[in-house]
Amino acid sequence: MASTGTTASADGAAAAAMHLIDYTNPDAIKQIPTRNGFGEGLIEAGRRDPQVIAICADLSESTRMEGFKKLFPDRYIAIGVAEQMLVAMAAGMASTGKVPFIASYAMFNPGRSWEQVRTTMALNETNVKIAGAHAGVSVGPDGATHQAIEDIAIMRVIPKMTVIVPCDSAQTKKATLAIAERWGPAYLRFARAESAVITTGETPFEIGKAQTFRDGGDVAIVACGILVYNALVAAEELARDGIACRVINNHTIKPMDEPAIVAAARDCGTVVTVEEHQVHGGMGSRVAEILAAQHPVPIEFVGVQDKFGQSGAPQELVEHYAMGVASIKAAAKRALSRKRT
């Protein structure tokens, strides 16, 4: 391995090009919640643009809006536990030229406020940015009522909506800045628990452009969110068995990078999708839609299999719902066995 901390193996050329941390070395990996990246990005967006404002549904510390609140108190609004009004107020303020970021747990916004998101925010093409915190089962002990594992599905079907699921805290900061500068309604999904930081300040980020974090020609693993790290670790372990996996960080669910998805399917001949979300209607479903239309190949789906969440430690729940490294490896081997010759 290179002494710089980035991977330098033959299969790590893509990782080196992306300036990734050496994900094969646990000592090189920091564990930071993705929500921290949102908080940092929101502050920077506020510094860059005085029109950026923050509106929160009584969860400023949990969603990491606290820093923005302290630095820009005249641009922060606490609306209380009123998620529908949160969206309606933001849409109205956006119509005056403001760039509102609105935050709550993803289960409540967009979950509870979906009709307002659809009609008041998106139908009118307002410039509102939703920060959906504590998404996925990795929110842990909060349990099923607070674990948003259907939110990608309900958001990606809304016309005009941009949907982003960054892979770590560093990329969450970049995604926050990117949606602040991009006009139109957007949904940014991130998590509560600490998770591996695999990207750096030099790692590029562009909305709608998937990233190849590892190259390979046997199986394409298309992942999003904090499970991208699990996909990389699984690929490294599969390489020891002679299976070369391409790992794609598919951070933008909408608009998805169709050329990258089709190229991966064409080059590898089979695909595994990985997401901390229901397998029905999520990122993997969109990948399947693209490939069904342009280049059909066998696909395996790693995610929550039509179940509700439950209370538990974050990593325990990821493993319980078959989204850990071992489950990704098993899915890759199943996909390889189905590969057409």
Residue 150 has φ and ψ, to the nearest 5°, of -125, 0
What count of other Cβ atoms lies within 10 Å of the Cβ of residue 124?
14
Q: Which two tokens stand for residue 196?
A: 């591996």
Residue 295 has φ and ψ, to the nearest 5°, of -160, 80
285: nearest Cα among 259, 256, 315: 256
* Chain position carrying tokens 């030229």: 97
**Which amino acid makes up residue 335?**
A
Q: Which two tokens stand for residue 102?
A: 């609105």
> Is residue 296 classed as helix, strand or coil in its secondary structure?
coil
Active-site position among 44, 61, 66, 83: 83
> Distance between CA 46 and CA 99 in Å, rounded?
10
Cis before 26 (ω within 30)? no
* Chain position carrying tokens 């479903």: 285
> Distance between CA 322 and CA 330 in Å, rounded?
10
**Would you say 83 and 104 are in contact if contact means Cβ atoms under 8 Å apart?**
yes
* Chain position carrying tokens 């940092």: 40
Give alpha helix (H) positions in the chain: 13-17, 34-48, 66-71, 83-94, 114-116, 151-156, 169-181, 227-239, 258-268, 283-294, 314-320, 325-337
**Would you say 138 and 193 are in contact if contact means Cβ atoms under 8 Å apart?**
yes
> Distance between CA 247 and CA 249 in Å, rounded?
7
**Residue 83 a catalytic site member:** yes
Active-site positions? 83
